[in-house]
Each structure stands twice: as structure tokens, then as C-alpha cells.
Structure 1
């Protein structure tokens, strides 16, 4: 496997210089903040929204209305130490098959509670590791969803893939089932980084899986990369990007590793001394963002990059990009139905989250009850603030007066929040033009700190959130 390139990327030295100038910003704004994939955010969901409420919300969905599905496959063959997902490790298939039976029972239960079939426009398989399923079980799952819900002929079906468990038979099954997009978990190609996070994955293996996908007609390929991992340097991150882009993905996500060992005990296996400090994380992020753009990709929001002709880049230019629990998305459906342990969904009335413990989830489903453990009904104020936060996260700009008017509120609804941005503007994070807020390129990695100004639920500095940078 290749190590760092011997030729220093110009973005590396430039980012290092910029990073040195932004240490005051890092210490001032690098707080523990939500990722704002929802608003209100998941820590504020509560047990007052349970199975009965969820059933009523499902019944209220108009037959034929657009909806999306998220399926959480909560098993992996091996635990990656950087992982923040809800998953369980197994070397046997029996637990996976048993769990899948429960998930498909939940699907039937949801479909039965609906007033009529929906028009499903997006299906997303996440995990865990969806590729831990057998090819036959994957096809059976898609067939069940088609029977339970009204999958549109043009529905996007996306699958997160671990190249270590993907097989040619599985890829062929994906193609037969109508999968349109695959998301490849890469993280980093550097040997010592892979060893430090317990994810040994040769670049040749990734290339092989991508070849299988394209040979079978699945050409919309995403890649997931991570910065802030142990032993990473700015130059090594840029080298991994070069290796990834050589495989021509349509989209790339670049996530900052969130080290939360108080939440995920397996993260304690990572040597904290090997993690990059805040200045280096800044340098990695800034250099990577510049490098993607130099390579012709469009920067999308905080951490995504898309080919200029990709649907996500077009949605960004048209101001119709959205954000949900999977990150940035072109999905415009007003309802997302989450299936599986820890599955999260949203409906017009609010958010719902399933029981995360697999045994308890299966027991609830087999007992004939929805596994809804918690959630939150959204108020008008929540919806208005959600719109503001979503536009900031997606467009790095928001017209506060326009959002207020959309909900029949006065133009000066956010006068208090706007006035509280003096420091952010003085530090060059944003620019205010009347009631319009523009986040600068310098402020891009701090967009969540701007969103936090509109978050009525947030207690600043809460340790359950990841760092802003």
C-alpha cells in the first residue's frame, strides 16, 4: 500500500499557513456541537413519543405521497475502532438472518398501518454493514419493500458497502434488485492509519469492488473518507484523496473523526496520543477542501464534494439541497420511515427513533408493537428554525426574512440571533447583509457554530456532541 507522497501538495503548505492564523478561531468556536442532521437534534428526543404516537402519524400520511425508507442493518463482521454507528459484531450468519426477519416484520407492520401505499422515491441501506447480508437475502429484502410500499420506478436505491465483505454475487444481486448508488467506506488508504483503527482494507480491494459495480451497471459511486484519524497528516490525507479520485467517484464525503470514548467504548482502543491535535485537524480539513476543488469537485456544505454534473451539485446550485440523518441529500420527500434497531425517521408531525438494543428491538417487533423508543413532535418554532439551520448547512447562507415570511412571521423574527453574531462577523466567519447571513470560506468548517445560534435546545459545551472542526 502506498504511503505519503514525496511531493508536497501545494494545498498542504497553504492550509498549514491558514491553520496557524486560525488558532484563535479554533479555541473560540471549536465547541461540542450537533451535526444538525435534524432539528431538534437526537439528544432532545424523549420517551413521550412512542409506538402509539408513531402509528397515528403513519396513518395520517396521504396515500401516494412521496416517502423515503432507511434500513439499518445492525451487524458487522468486525468492529472498526473509529465507528460511531449502532452495530454488533458477529462471525455467524444466524443472528443476521434472525434480525432481518424482524426488520421485514417491522416493514409489514408499518405498511399495514398506512392509509394506503406511498410513493417511495429513495431507499437507503445503512449500518452496520449492509453487505453482511447474503445476496439472496438482499434481493428478498428489496422484493419485500416493493410489496409493502409503492417504490417508484425511478426510485434511488443506495447501499453502504464495506469492501471487505462485498462479493461479486452480492454486487450482481444489487444490480438485479435495481440499486442505483453504492457508497464505499474507505476512510484512509495509509497502512498505519488502517491498523490504528482496526480496518485493514487494501486499495486493490476497493478498486476491485468498484470495477464489479461498474461492470454491473451501478455507476453512481460515493466514497466515504475520514480526517482526524490516528497517524494522519495533512499530506497523507491529500494522498488518500488522490488515490480515491483516481477511481472517479461521483461524490465523496469527508467526515471529521469524532472521538467519543465515553459513548463508544471500543474507541478506547485508539491511542489518543496518535490523534492529530486541533491545529492539524484544521489543516487537514482546509487542505482537503481546497484539493477537492482543485481536482474539479464542487464543495457541498460542510463535508461533501460532488462531480459538477452530479445531481447533488445541481441541487446545490438550484438551492434545493437538503440534509437528513444520512447527511446531504437530494431527497425531497416529506417523510422518512426508519426500519431496524436504532432506525430514525421523520414525518410531518415530528421525529421517531427505534429501540437501539437489538434484542429489545426484536422482542418489541415480535410482540406486535412498533419499536419506537423515543421521538419529538415539532412545533412551528422548531420548523422555522429547522429551515434556517438546513439552509445554513446546505447553502452556507440564509435569508432570515424570507424564511420567516414563509411561515407567516415578521421579517425581524430572528433579530436577537442576528444581533448576537457580532463576534462571528468580526472574526470573519460570516457576513451579514440586512437579514441575510453568508458564511465565508473561512467559516465553512465552523458552520455548525453559526447554526447553534438558532438552536433553542442546545446547552453549549455538552460532551455528548462531537467537535465542530
Structure 2
């Protein structure tokens, strides 16, 4: 039986605002990265960190097999030789970082991918031990890791506990068999439940579940059943993303039949269903697409106005800085963003040659910093006081507001409310917050086919 339809977004609003826009995990976004930033700039920006606290993000670009929906930088890899070489390259990169920023303090550690478990327990432990050997680590630092429940056995849980993992994020996406077949990812609810029990038994009790709406063959009814099954697992957090169909960027997505993808109106209903169901189950909605129990650190950061958004999503980290390790990993540094070479072999070769593996990036201008703070406020807290923000950046707020040509229309259409210089995302506008942020993006080119749609 078809699940009840949640309140639908009207067709006029969808037609006007459900356009291709950035996800705003940074500003400027990765679309503005280019080769003018390379190893020399990256090294200088790392030196600026001094003895500050930063999150260390490790990217493992390998999976046992590829899921067709995935837009991450990953490849299928099961051979020991390339995996050994990649682990050695990550150790070399840690050595380079320690030479450039020896006083840097590790505030939090995040392992992502791909599938970090594909590196193997021994290699993972070797890299993690090298991090601790080269840098001081803040007491109580959270260590999180993305997990594919299909490839997480007892031995790997032991390795996770050995390196101090405190939070595991489990990729689920959808439990419906037809949807799983359409995205080449078969994973039962029983498999997922078994891994959660194994993790909790090993002392890793903070559990996140990742879901995706807008997948091929997905309906409100199948999504509702997936939500039922996921809620029964009682995680601390959910991240529920809208599927980004970008086959021009990720050729593997061409294996998905575009005719089986939900249309804009149905995607909007799906987003509303997710929000209603998870909020109704007691989870606090965090920003655009995260949900957390009120006792979770992410919910507390949201309530206290400390929430941040990085390339890893919404985080409760105190420090704004991220040091990326691995192929395609992005660093967030005081002077700008840098990104490593995307392929594992080129990444390893650059480090073996004695330098950094930086491929591209962007230096922050004064205008970027101003607009970035505004966009971060809207994405994280759904509100921004332009008087306060502009004062910090020595800009006159009313003059700045006059530059935002789309602002009157956003207010008129009910996506944004304005009280003087205080802007707030409305309930109506929350699903379209990325479209609101695009109005403040000085680099955004409407119509450019490089981003996913807003809903």
C-alpha cells in the first residue's frame, strides 16, 4: 500500500528553485578550485597553523565493488600491492605534514572513502599509529569512521577499537530489494543490525546511519519501510542525502536508468517524509540533511550555535581547520582550501618524489570570507545577523544587502524572512536552503551542469 503523502511543495516553487546548485560544504565551493594553488601554497598555509587544533581527515578511495549511485572519489580495489602502496603514501604524507606543522594538535579524526575497511586492518592500524607518533592528540578526541556493513567482520572491529574509533557511520542508502538492485548494492537489514551489534559489543556505541532519497525505483512506500527499519536500529544520528545524479562527472551513474528516478515533486515529498518521520521519532533536524538525538554532540552544537559544515557534512568540531590526507582529500586552512591529486597512483608518486600531493585549491579573498560566513550561517543555523557579520568584515550591511538581487524574491516567495538585517530560513525554505545560499554566492553560474539539483 502506498504510504501517506506528506505535505507537497507546490509546483511553482519547485520550478523556480529546484535548480542545480552547490551543496555548500565550503565557500568558495570545489568548483572554484584550480591549479593556481599547488604544493608551494599548500606548504605555506600549513605553516600558518602553528600549534592550533585541527581535524585530520583520511580518505581511502577504494571499495570491494562499486555502487552505481556513488559520486565519491573511489574505485574497486582488492589487490594487496596497491593497498600496501597507498598505506605507505599516507604515512609519507603524515611525515610531510609533521615537517611543515610540527606543533599541530589533532582535535578529531575522520576516516572516509570509499570504504576505509578496504585498506585492511593491519594497514589501517599502521597509519593510525604513525599519526599518533608524529602529532600530539587532544584528550577525548572523537575518532569516526565510515563503514560498509557488508565488509566489517570481527577482526576489523578489533582494529577499529585498537585505533580508538568512537563513532561509526554505516552506509545503508535504502533497504528495498528493488532499489538495491537498481544501484548495485545488496545489503539486508539483518546484516546491518548484526554489524551494529558487533560494534556496540566492541565498545563503539555512537552509531550513525546514512540514507539516500531520490534513488531509482524508490517510492514513498519503499522509503517509509526503509525508515521503519532504520529507526528500529536506534542510531544516534541520521544523514539523509538527496541522490545527486551527475553522470557527466561520475560515469558509473550511467548504469542507472534515468527513467526510474523519481521526479522533482516526488523527491520533494520524500524529503518531507524523511523530516516528518525522523523528527516525529525524537531526532532533532540539523541543518539541511542531518538528524540527531537531543543528547548527541551534534544536536548540542546545533542548539548552542556551534555547528559547522565541512566536506564531511555537519560536524560539532570546535576547530574550523581540517587537514586532509589521501587521494582527493581536501584541507580547510586559514588562507584557503587545497585538494590532493585524485588518483591513488599519482598521489603516491608525488609523495614518493618528496613533495606534497597538492593538485589544486583556492585562496580566500576578503569577499569570500564575508560571503562564506553568511552561507555557513544559513546552512548550519538557518539564520544570520548581517550587522554582526558585516561588522567583523568591515563592510556596510545595507550596501551589501543591496547587492543581493535575488533577496526580495526569496522573501516574497516565503523561503526567507527578513527583520532588518537579520535573515532567517523559513520552514518552507529549509528544503531549498542551498538555493537561498546561491543568491549570496559570487562565483555561482546558473545553468552550469556541475552540481546536483536543490532537492
Please, what TM-score do these two structures have when normalized by structure 2?
Answer: 0.98
Alignment partners' CA distance in 2, 1:202 and 1:94: 31
Residue by residue over 1:190-243, the C-alpha shift from the partner in whole angstroms, topping out at 9 and shown as x without a partner, is 000001000011111100110011001111111100000001111211221111
In structure 2, the residue matched to 1:410 is: 396
Alignment partners' CA distance in 1, 2:217 and 2:6: 20
The yes-or-no answer on 1:102 pairing with 2:94 is: no
The yes-or-no answer on 1:143 pairing with 2:129 is: yes
Q: Give the Å deviation of 1:418.
A: 5.2
Alignment partners' CA distance in 1, 2:84 and 2:126: 12
Alignment partners' CA distance in 2, 1:222 and 1:413: 43
In structure 2, the residue matched to 1:74 is: 61
Q: Give the Å deviation of 1:291.
A: 1.0
C-alpha contact (below 8 Å) 1:82/1:257 kept by paired residues = yes
In structure 2, the residue matched to 1:306 is: 292
In structure 1, the residue matched to 2:26 is: 38
The equivalent position to 2:48 in structure 1, one of 60, 82, 107, is 60
Q: Give the Å deviation of 1:419.
A: 5.8
In structure 1, the residue matched to 2:247 is: 261
Q: Give the Å deviation of 1:353.
A: 0.5
In structure 2, the residue matched to 1:13 is: 5
In structure 1, the residue matched to 2:110 is: 124
Alignment partners' CA distance in 2, 1:315 and 1:161: 24
In structure 2, the residue matched to 1:421 is: 407
Q: 1:427 to 1:411 in 2, by over 3 A?
A: closer
The yes-or-no answer on 1:91 pairing with 2:78 is: yes
- Moved runs in structure 1, 4+ residues, more than 6 A? none
Q: Which is worse superposed, 130-139 or 41-50?
A: 130-139
Q: Give the Å deviation of 1:103.
A: 1.3
Residue by residue over 1:398-423, the C-alpha shift from the partner in whole angstroms, topping out at 9 and shown as x without a partner, is 11111111223323242224563222
The equivalent position to 1:198 in structure 2, one of 184, 197, 208, is 184
Q: Give the Å deviation of 1:133.
A: 2.2
C-alpha contact (below 8 Å) 2:58/2:324 kept by paired residues = yes
Q: Give the Å deviation of 1:94.
A: 2.3
Alignment partners' CA distance in 1, 2:403 and 2:434: 14
C-alpha contact (below 8 Å) 2:404/2:440 kept by paired residues = no
Q: Classify the secondary structure of the residue corresponding to 2:299.
A: helix
Q: Classify the secondary structure of the residue corresponding to 1:14.
A: coil
Alignment partners' CA distance in 1, 2:362 and 2:318: 21
Q: Give the Å deviation of 1:118.
A: 1.5
Q: How does 1:4-403 map to 2 (within 5 A)?
A: 6=1, 12-15=4-7, 18-19=8-9, 22-63=10-51, 65-114=52-101, 116-403=102-389
CA RMSD of aligned residues (A): 1.2
Residue by residue over 1:293-348, the C-alpha shift from the partner in whole angstroms, topping out at 9 and shown as x without a partner, is 11111011110000011111111111110100001111121321111110100110
C-alpha contact (below 8 Å) 2:33/2:360 kept by paired residues = yes
C-alpha contact (below 8 Å) 1:418/1:435 kept by paired residues = no
Q: Classify the secondary structure of the residue corresponding to 2:432.
A: helix
Residue by residue over 1:141-164, the C-alpha shift from the partner in whole angstroms, topping out at 9 and shown as x without a partner, is 211111122121211110000111
Alignment partners' CA distance in 2, 1:34 and 1:282: 18
Q: Classify the secondary structure of the residue corresponding to 1:57.
A: helix
Residue by residue over 1:263-307, the C-alpha shift from the partner in whole angstroms, topping out at 9 and shown as x without a partner, is 111101001111101111011001111111111110111100000
Unaligned runs of 5+ in 1: 1-5
Q: 1:419 to 1:359 in 2, by over 3 A?
A: closer
Unaligned runs of 5+ in 2: none
C-alpha contact (below 8 Å) 1:404/1:413 kept by paired residues = no
Q: Give the Å deviation of 1:117.
A: 2.3
Please, what TM-score do these two structures have when normalized by structure 1?
Answer: 0.95
Q: Give the Å deviation of 1:14.
A: 2.9
Residue by residue over 1:413-453, the C-alpha shift from the partner in whole angstroms, topping out at 9 and shown as x without a partner, is 42224563222222211111111111111111110111111
Q: Give the Å deviation of 1:250.
A: 0.6
C-alpha contact (below 8 Å) 2:48/2:334 kept by paired residues = no
Q: Give the count of matched residue pairs.
A: 455
Residue by residue over 1:56-94, the C-alpha shift from the partner in whole angstroms, topping out at 9 and shown as x without a partner, is 11122222x111111110111101000001111123232
C-alpha contact (below 8 Å) 2:414/2:428 kept by paired residues = yes
